[in-house]
Amino acid sequence: MAELAAAAPRSLLGLTYRRFRRHRLAVASALLLLVLALAAIAAPLVAAALGVDAETVNLLGRFQAPSLAHPLGTDELGRDVLVRLLYGGRVSLIVGVAAALASAVIGTAVGLVAGYYGGRLDAILMRVTDSVITLPVLPLLIVLAALDLGKLGLPEALTQSQQISLYRIVAIIALVGWTRVARLVRGATLSMREREFVLAAQAQGASALRIMGVHILPNVVSPIIVSTTLSVGGIILFESILSFLGLGIQPPLPSWGNMLTGAQELIWDAPQLVVYPGLLIFATVIAFNFLGDGLQDALDPRAAR
Amino acid sequence: MTRYVAQRSIESLIVLAVMSVVVYGLIGLMPGDPIDLMINANPNLTPADAARLKALYGLDLPLYERYWNWLTAALGGDFGYSRLFSRPVLEVLPAYLGRTAILMGASFVLSVAIAIPTGIWAATRPYSRADYVINLLSFAGISVAPFWLALLLIMLFAVGLGWLPAGGMQTVGLDSLADKAAHLVLPVLALTLLSVAGVTRYVRAEMIGVLRQDYVRTARAKGVPERQVVWRHGLRNALIPVVTVLALDFGALFSGALITETVFAYPGMGKLIYDAILGNDFNMALIGLLFATLLTLVGNLLADLAYAKLDPRISYG
């Protein structure tokens, strides 16, 4: 009897958490990401404590060695490296998470509609999805990043704002990033559509929107979470690449990618300036990849490992 | 089979045609047009001259008419002049294409040659220490920023050790094969390191799945030597999905080549597209992008055909 009590029903969440905890790298990654996020949030506090900001240029104080005033020294324009790294972290994390969520929303909508309605609509949507998957993503992103937003008819107040490069990069990454979730959700929806509870809802006259949103979506949420987490790392890489190429986040707003623009020259003068941003990108991306891996194990224990 | 190839080719052409419309439209939305750039370069140009030039080049027409003019010319083999090179784009393209083919080809062969044995090594010892290390390294490989890896290689081999040149295609004034090869080492190494991780992960995952199959157990029970079980029964079946992934990753390899070429100042297709977009060389950018798309589509088609070749169970009616 005591054994039976010990095997008392656990909540689904509790079981998932227990499985997740077994993936030690994923747990460590979650902690690392928490620390990085807190550090990024604390960026203004650090800047205030040091009495510096991320954008003020000081040409007399270039390439300073680490000191109390500048714990990681200064860059080629005499700006504090630590504070810039922290603000850059904000950009990377915001872009990564926001673009991943936006991709997930688009992909889920496309996948639900294609899977639920089937037929010709499904064929068209999946053909579009396959086509987008085959496109050479980076050249396309470069074109999208080089567009003149004024010609698109967007209000000037928006196109001239400092944050525009941030919004733009989230939008263009979501525009090409939704395909994986769309395919996953479509596949899951196809099998859900034939289940009894969906038939029951249909028999009761529930609308298609309600069936998709209330009956099918909650049942396909696990693969969406896993795929979205796994995509954050790739998105952060794309952001850093575009910013490195001078097409992503525009200075003076710092990002880990644009801190490395022109790094070919820095290699000779100040190699540490090349190392820090790349190392942070690496740590963040690998942490998201391990986290996604751990979530996959936890949420989908049947998947072949 | 012929019917299948024909059908897929037509589909690919449709994607390419849609892409050409989309890219043409997008390029029209980029800042400045060729005449505006001329005006900036030459202050003596009056607005009347500019209007006349725009009319001459058809730039005052609505977008769809301009696209139609471009398309009819392109189908006749005229892809226009490159602004940056002052030559027809089709004259510029082949040399760049060839250099990218060398870079991508060498990296592709190297990464497959490394990834298949490594993936099999890991798959035949799942959850061992060796597998764990390979797994960690693969995760690292897919998590590193490509341009940063290239920068680190330059720091180590060009700046630190001084063994290899930091960029470019050849030493100015020197025209030797050894010199060109030395300039290729770091770009190829960078691109290989980037792609080998992903391929290794696929090979390992597929191989583990295949080695669990009944026919593998049967082969072992019959007393087939382990080496033959792994390489003949295992690898042949695991390769099928791996080939598909390799072909689908062609676009990713091209993206990697673009970054590698930019960091190492290696004059290939990727750098050409990047320079063309930044330099408002619309004709060049357009043809470069369409060519990259075409190559990716051809890669996908070849993957499907290889699929049928490798797996006799699949036939395309």
Structure tokens that stand for A101 in this block? 């969520």
Q: Which residues of A touch B27 (CB under 8 A)?
A: 143
Q: How does A221-237 read in b/e, with b if 16+ C-beta sit within 10 Å?
A: ebbbbbbbbbbbbbbbb
Output DSSP code: residue A66.
P
The complex's ipTM works out to 0.83
**3-class secondary-structure state, position A145:** helix
Q: Assess contact for A175 and A144: CB atoms under 8 A.
A: yes
Query: Helix (H, G, I), strand (E, B), or coil: what is residue A38?
Result: helix
Distance CA B259, CA A232 (A): 20
Q: Is the pTM of this model over 0.90?
A: no
pLDDT score for B315: 63
Nearest CB among A136, A274, A290 relative to B296 is that of: A136
Residue B33: band (very low, low, confident or very high) from pLDDT cuts 50, 70, 90: low
The number of angstroms, rounded, from the C-alpha of A80 to the middle of its chain's C-alpha atoms is: 27
Residue B88 is given by DSSP the state B
Min distance B43 CA to chain A CA atoms (Å): 24
The string of pLDDT tens digits covering residues B181-223 is 778 888 999 999 988 998 898 888 888 888 888 888 888 888 8
Beta bridge partners of B88: B81
Residues from chain A that touch B285, judged by Cβ atoms under 8 A, are 143
Residue B174 has what pLDDT? 67
d(CA A223, CA A112): 13
Q: Is the model's pLDDT at A252 over the cut of 70?
A: yes
Contact A134, B296 (CB under 8 A): yes
A127 contacts in chain B (CB < 8 Å): 11
Length of chain B: 317
Q: Which residues from chain B sit within 8 angstroms of residue A233, using beta carbons? A: 142-143
Residue in B closest to A246 by C-alpha? B278
Residues of A with CB under 8 A from a CB of B: 127, 131, 133-140, 142-144, 146-148, 151-152, 233, 237, 240-241, 244-246, 257, 260, 263-264, 267-268, 271, 274, 277-278, 281-282, 285-286, 289-290, 293, 304
Domain boundaries of chain B, sorted by first residue: 90-310
- Can you tell me which residue has the tokens 């990069």? A169
- On the CB side of A186, how many CA atoms lie within 13 Å of its CA? 25
Architecture of domain B90-310: Orthogonal Bundle (1.10)
CB contacts of A244 in chain B (<8 Å) are 145, 147
Residue range A138-166: mean pLDDT, rounded: 77
Mean pLDDT calculated for residue range A73-86 = 78
B114 touches chain A (CB under 8 A): no
Contact between residue A93 and residue A101 where contact means Cβ atoms under 8 Å apart? no
- Name the B residues in 141-200 with CB < 8 Å from any A CB: 142-148, 151-152, 154-155, 159, 166-167
Residue B214 burial by Cβ neighbours in a 10 Å radius (0-12, 13-18, 19+): exposed
Put simply, the answer to whether B248 touches A263 (Cβ < 8 Å) is no
Q: Is B63 on the interface with A (CB under 8 A)?
A: no
What is the rounded CA–CA span in Å between residue B147 and residue B191? 10
Q: What is the pLDDT of residues A40-70, one digit of tens each?
A: 888 788 777 777 776 777 666 676 777 766 7
φ, ψ for residue B109 (rounded to 5)? -60, -45
Distance CA A298, CA A241 (A): 31
